[in-house]
């Protein structure tokens, strides 16, 4: 068909619907174009960046964004990370474990092991005034469970409490001696003290508020000992294998051998 000026103004009905559809669709976006949005940068991956400043910024981002459990998870999945990146995560975890706030109830206690088919329990000797247990627990209460876990070994109650943070709620199952209106213990036909099973929720305070707290004080010392034990156990599980390097003293500079 020869090209003429008139052909410029001839109707083109087949093209009109396509033009209308394009105009109605609006501006193209990453979603309408079928393109995935750029993923947010992962600070753990950035620990392996080539640039030293980038690695330093990634370490700061990890400290801001990752809690203890996330650091442990990333260490367990970090087979492809270089040793420097893994050691940065280990250093962060070490600081978190030693410096994290730790929960406390505010009681003096004595532990009794399971025996004769009876469960282990913690006997409340006294509560500290003004701390969470005050008014919630009573002298001679027997704590049987915390967070649904039986107290089957000495130290289990303190371990679970100090894994929590101040302000967290903990659930306790307690046996409490029943008393009459005059405060006298109620006994059954066999002269055994009657106990009521009670379930309590108590909001924890900080271990720093316990009596004799401070550098070297008993609660502070016990908390740090537990933190060191946690750190040793986790480090054994997630630390990278050491690299063994052989040096030939005949060819290695003496300053390297001394170091």
What confidence score (pLDDT) does residue 133 get?
95
DSSP H helical segments within 100-169, as ranges? 156-163
Q: 199 and 115, same structural domain?
A: yes
CB atoms inside a 10 Å sphere around CB 175: 18
Domain of residue 122: give its range. 110-209
Q: How large is the C-alpha radius of gyration of the chain?
A: 33
Residue 56 resides in a domain: yes
Q: 136 and 64, same structural domain?
A: no
Q: 143 and 82, same structural domain?
A: no
CB atoms inside a 10 Å sphere around CB 85: 24
Residue 91 CA to residue 56 CA, distance in Å, equals 13
Residue 195 CA to residue 179 CA, distance in Å, equals 9
CATH number of residue 201's parent domain = 2.30.42.10
What confidence score (pLDDT) does residue 234 get?
77
Q: 171 and 93, same structural domain?
A: no
List beta partners, residue 197: 175
Residue 242 resides in a domain: no
What confidence score (pLDDT) does residue 68 get?
79
Q: 115 and 160, same structural domain?
A: yes
CB atoms inside a 10 Å sphere around CB 176: 17
For residue 238, give both structure tokens: 């997630």
Residue 30 resides in a domain: no
Q: 91 and 124, same structural domain?
A: no
- Identify the segments of the chain with pLDDT beneath 50: 3-10, 12-25, 29-39, 213-217, 257-259
Residue 12 resides in a domain: no
Residue 159 CA to residue 173 CA, distance in Å, equals 17
Residue 173 resides in a domain: yes
Q: 85 and 137, same structural domain?
A: no
Burial code (b: 16+ CB inside 10 Å, e: under 16) for 40-52 equals: eeebbebbbeeee
By C-alpha distance, which of 239, 212, 237, 234 is closest to 223?
212
Residue 225 resides in a domain: no
């Amino acid at each position: 068909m020869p090209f003429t000026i008139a052909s410029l103004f001839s109707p083109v009905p087949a093209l009109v619907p396509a033009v209308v559809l394009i105009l109605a669709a609006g501006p193209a976006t990453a979603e309408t174009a079928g393109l995935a949005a750029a993923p947010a940068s992962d600070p753990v991956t950035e620990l392996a960046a080539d640039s030293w400043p980038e690695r330093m910024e990634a370490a700061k981002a990890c400290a801001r964004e990752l809690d203890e459990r996330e650091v442990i998870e990333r260490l367990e999945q970090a087979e492809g990370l270089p040793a420097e990146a893994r050691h940065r995560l280990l250093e962060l975890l070490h600081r978190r474990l030693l410096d994290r706030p730790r929960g406390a109830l505010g009681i003096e206690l004595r532990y009794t092991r399971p025996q004769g088919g009876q469960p282990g329990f913690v006997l409340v000797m006294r509560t500290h005034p003004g701390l969470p247990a005050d008014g919630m627990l009573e002298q001679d209460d027997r704590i049987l469970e915390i967070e649904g876990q039986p107290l089957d070994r000495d130290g289990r109650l303190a371990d679970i409490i100090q894994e929590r943070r101040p302000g967290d709620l903990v659930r306790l199952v307690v046996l409490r001696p029943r008393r009459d209106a005059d405060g006298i213990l109620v006994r059954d036909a066999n002269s055994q003290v009657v106990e009521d099973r009670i379930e309590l929720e108590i909001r924890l305070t900080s271990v720093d508020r316990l009596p004799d707290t401070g550098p070297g004080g008993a609660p502070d010392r016990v908390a740090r000992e537990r933190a060191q034990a946690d750190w040793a156990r986790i480090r054994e599980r997630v630390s990278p294998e050491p690299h063994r390097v052989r040096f030939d003293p005949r060819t290695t500079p003496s300053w390297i051998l001394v170091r």
